[in-house]
Amino acid sequence: MLIPKSDFLGLDQITHLCAGAETPILKSHRSAINRFFEDKSSGAAGRDRILETYGVCKQKIATLLGVAPEEIAFLSSSSEGINLLAYSLEWRPGDNVVVCDLEFPSDILPWTRLQDRGVEIRIVHHQDWSISLSDLGGAIDDQTRVVAVSQVSFLTGQRLRLEELARVVRPSNALLSIDATHATGVVEVQANHADILVSSCYKWLLGVHGLAIFYCNQTRQPDLKPPFLGWHTGTSYGDWQDPTHYSTRSEAARFEPGNPSFIGIYVLNNALDHLLEIGMPRIEAYITSLADRVWNGLQAQGLELMTPQNASRRAGNVCFATPNSEAIAELLGRKGVLVWPGSGRVRISTHLYNTIEDVDRLLSALKEMPNLR
């Protein structure tokens, strides 16, 4: 393992294989939260330390994504980021948005609000649980405004390569919007290939709810205007004599209308210290190696794999189809093995605190179960 289980809360008696939903909490997060409480209680000097941590955390995220810190904003959720993009653009009747049928609801539902403006939602359908880049490209035309896809599927675990997605989308005038929630903290995320990228922080990044990453490619989208305004939007404001005057920030922080979750930032900042110290190449190699063992073990049991076999086409999630996912998860839970059910499949997620023994414990428990299919 890359981080000892003893560094986390609650891993003494269980095999935790559901990082794709929730990760356990690092014990060191307690100290990070205490630092936030101390800084919040210290007046102006404490606020300065809070803003310093905010800036340091942005720099770490920028390092993780290979972009500039000025291109990073902190929002409340990845869902907020997708909605923010939907309301930032000026839509015309006849425009269309391209999505995939295997996407998380937050990556599809925001676009449905545009249908009453004459915007078409084009759905690319999977073939044998896989999304084809050629099918995706075939849905794009000169009226496509946004192509919205996940780098790694929450449902199947399929991983799309951002550079390949960019080659498909860039010849058009469409924006490439990426949900990297199931990629950040697991595999390399070259955010510069996207126009907009969002990621939750409470899964693979070892953070908590209420904080998400929003990346805006300043080279390609320097003039994208925020749809919502607040005190944090601008760099200067009018006084009581001219209260409506303001100057908008040029950096991605213009998409933060107010204070982000500073307590979430302190936690994420601590988590990033661990991830960056280990390094993403090492993390990716370790997690995909464990996922190999999961994939091969499930295949040996004759289960219907929804996740690609090729390690370069997946990340930390391996999923098998079954109508009995809830019952299977419950039975595994009784044996101390945590997986994630729902949507007609069981999702098994390996992370940097897992071991080969964890995977083998899962596979042994599954062998003893009836009605897996």
In this predicted model, what pLDDT tens digit does every residue of 92-124 receive, in sequence order? 999 999 999 999 999 999 999 999 999 999 999
DSSP at 106? G
Q: Cα(307)–Cα(122) distance, rounded to whole angstroms?
A: 24
Please give the mean pLDDT across all residues of the chain.
96
**Collapsed DSSP state (helix, strand, coil) of residue 111:** helix
Q: Name the band, by pLDDT with cuts 50, 70 and 90, for residue 373.
A: low
Per-residue tokens: 100? 């995939």
Q: Which of 288, 118, 284, 264 is nearest to 190 (CA)?
A: 284
Q: Are 96 and 145 in contact (CB under 8 A)?
A: yes
Please give the Cα distance from 3 to 220 (Å, whole number): 37
Nearest to 298 by CA among 353, 355, 357, 346: 346
Which domains does the chain carry? 5-17+280-367 (3.90.1150.10), 29-276 (3.40.640.10)
Q: How confident is the model at residue 242 (pLDDT cuts 50, 70, 90)?
A: confident
CA–CA gap between residue 65 and residue 67 (Å, rounded): 6
* SS3 category, 196: strand
Residue range 155-178, pLDDT digits in tens: 999 999 999 999 999 999 899 999
- Residue-wise pLDDT for 301-310, tens only, equals 999 999 999 9
Q: What's the pLDDT at 241?
A: 80
Percentage, residues of the chain above pLDDT 90: 91
CA distance to 27, 98, 215, 267, 369, per residue, from 248 (Å)? 39, 30, 17, 29, 59
Q: Which pair of structure tokens corresponds to residue 160?
A: 């799309």
